[in-house]
Amino acid sequence: MSYSGLVFENRFLHALPADEIVQNYGRQVHGALYSMVSPTPVSAPSTIIVSDELAEQIGFSSEFCRSQQFASVFAGNALLPGMSPYASRYGGHQFGHWAGQLGDGRAINLGEVALSSGGHLTLQLKGAGPTPYSRGADGRAVLRSSIREFLCSEAMHHLGVPTTRALSLVLSGDTVVRDMFYNGNAQEEPGAIVCRTAPSFTRFGHFQLCAFKGEKELLQRLLDYTLEADFPHLQAMLLQGGYTRQEVYLQWFDEVCRRTIDMIVEWMRVGFVHGVMNTDNMSILGLTMDYGPYGWVDNYDPDWTPNTTDAEMRRYRFGQQSAVAQWNLWQLANALLPVLHEAAPLEKILRDSAVYYEEQWRVMLARKLGLNAFDDAVDEGLISGLNRVLQLHEIDMTIFYRMLASFNPYQAEARLADVILPAFYRPEELAEEVIAEINAWGALYAERLCRDGMSPEQRCAQMNAVNPKYVLRNYMAQQVIDQAHMGDYSLLHELYALLRNPYDEQPGLTHHAEKRPDWARHKAGCSMLSCSS
């Protein structure tokens, strides 16, 4: 079985200090960035699904992925040579409030693989048992949340959104008790473990906790390690001379800001709502991570959040994500002050990053609308009109943009409302004045497209390359979960294959591109979700 060529370098462990206490019990950890801890074995591990392309990238053969040894390793029952499991320590702001020490409460890093193609990937089990950071919880995950994490990680990757990825989903054979709605009705659910991967799982919260605890030397060590491991081009600037350490640190922060903003722009492009944008869920690499109560916007609503915990404040709603990202970056900047000393350069980077978001948002919108470029002189009005049109009547965001690509501006008497009619959730309720306003905006849009001069065929191809036909709607994920609880994983495999090509038409599978069915409007798991896992 092929895995013998794997090299685990585990640079995080070699470069940074470990917790001196080796016993696995909940505690506050001081002066360290991780605790050594082994996964807790499960009774009957069995592999449900593996990302073949990711396995190949790591160096696992298909034979090994089908083996019982693979299931044992990625359920936490065994280790491969070179693996050295640990849980990392970090803190964070949760829903705008400082939460203190958090850490990998149900995630255990198995090790960091040096890829033959270059670079590194850390393999991390989610749901592999308690760690010193579990805060009294069991460290386990249930099948429903694990399915959602596996599918969404891979769906986001193939959409072109920066993300952690999922290698495998393994059933534990054990049950886990969870109160899905936090209403006192806890139930036993099937347990499962996802192996997720990333070049690094370093979070804003790693830096925040060091700063909060006054561990200035540890903060500096973490920053220097991050440059070396995750930003080697910036480390090279330092080694080559001509730049001070402070200048390189600032360059690093600027890049973290831009990567974060690039990620948010991609979320907005595809209609994704993270749902839990706490600072401990923010990657310094600008990767989408920690897939909890996420969702895709069905009917366009900037105020929608998929998180029941956030239902009242809607802090993490769709239209607020860029502002929250900026707020989170300010918290990271505050954490860097003990090392950088001066606030003014950080504040300038933050101001510039807000401008950068607006610039990138315009570039993204131009691509979605099939424009050569965003023209500030005329397109501000076009976009404000579009935002109004999208909220005049309940309309599916994904289907709207996909159908907009077929709108022909050169066609005499072109009526936009006719083209996008299938995107409306209740087309029979469309009032005449709403139809008139949609068509009026369509006329402005047609005029703008004609001024660009792009052929309808070229524009359609451009738009269909950035506006997906298939996204992982909540009701689709819930259908997979319902079947999986019956022991049927066929729909899981079908959707996994479908979502690897989200921009293609895929004849025979177009039923997965339809609007959210009415029965799913308020069904548990199909509209909003809790943080329960």
pLDDT digits (tens, 9 = 90+) for 174-216: 999 998 767 778 899 999 999 999 999 999 999 999 999 999 9
* pLDDT 10s digits, 383-427: 999 999 999 999 999 999 999 999 999 987 779 999 999 999 999
The reply to whether 210 falls in a domain is yes
**Based on the domain organization, do 49 and 167 belong to the same domain?**
yes
**Based on the domain organization, do 352 and 332 belong to the same domain?**
yes
Examine the fold and report which residue of 153, 186, 201 is the final residue of a domain before the chain moves on: 201
Give φ, ψ of 392 to 5 degrees: -70, -35
Residue 533 has pLDDT above 60, yes or no: no
The number of helix segments (H) and strand segments (E) in the chain equals 18, 12
The reply to whether 531 falls in a domain is no
pLDDT-wise least confident of 239-248, 361-370, 380-389, 407-416: 407-416
The reply to whether 471 falls in a domain is no
**Based on the domain organization, do 221 and 166 belong to the same domain?**
no
Give φ, ψ of 53 to 5 degrees: -70, -35
How far is the C-alpha of 223 from the C-alpha of 335, rounded, in Å? 11
**Based on the domain organization, do 360 and 272 belong to the same domain?**
yes
Residue 112 parent element (H or E): strand 107-114
Among the listed residues 218, 217, 224, the one whose alpha carbon sits nearest the alpha carbon of residue 246: 224
The reply to whether 524 falls in a domain is no
The reply to whether 6 falls in a domain is no
**Based on the domain organization, do 93 and 173 belong to the same domain?**
yes
The reply to whether 111 falls in a domain is yes
Residues shown for the chain:
533
Number of domains in the chain: 3
What pLDDT is attached to residue 525? 81
Residue 43's domain spans which residues? 11-201
Q: Which ranges of 287-343 would DSSP assign to H, the alpha helix?
A: 321-340
> 218: which 2 tokens?
């540890």
**Based on the domain organization, do 54 and 160 belong to the same domain?**
yes
What pLDDT is attached to residue 479? 96
The reply to whether 525 falls in a domain is no
**Based on the domain organization, do 241 and 273 belong to the same domain?**
yes
Residue 15 has pLDDT above 80, yes or no: yes
What pLDDT is attached to residue 527? 73
How far is the C-alpha of 180 from the C-alpha of 532, rounded, in Å? 5
Catalytic residues: 280
pTM (two decimals): 0.97
CB-CB contact of 104 with 133 (8 Å): yes
**Based on the domain organization, do 185 and 197 belong to the same domain?**
yes
The reply to whether 59 falls in a domain is yes
**Based on the domain organization, do 168 and 187 belong to the same domain?**
yes
**Based on the domain organization, do 255 and 332 belong to the same domain?**
yes
**Based on the domain organization, do 195 and 226 belong to the same domain?**
no
Examine the fold and report which residue of 201, 225, 252 is the final residue of a domain before the chain moves on: 201
Examine the fold and report which residue of 339, 367, 395 is the final residue of a domain before the chain moves on: 367
Checking phi first, is residue 297 left (phi over 0); if not, alpha (psi -120 to 50) or beta?
beta
CB-CB contact of 2 with 63 (8 Å): yes
CB-CB contact of 131 with 139 (8 Å): yes
**Based on the domain organization, do 149 and 217 belong to the same domain?**
no
CA atoms within 13 A on the CB side of 131: 27
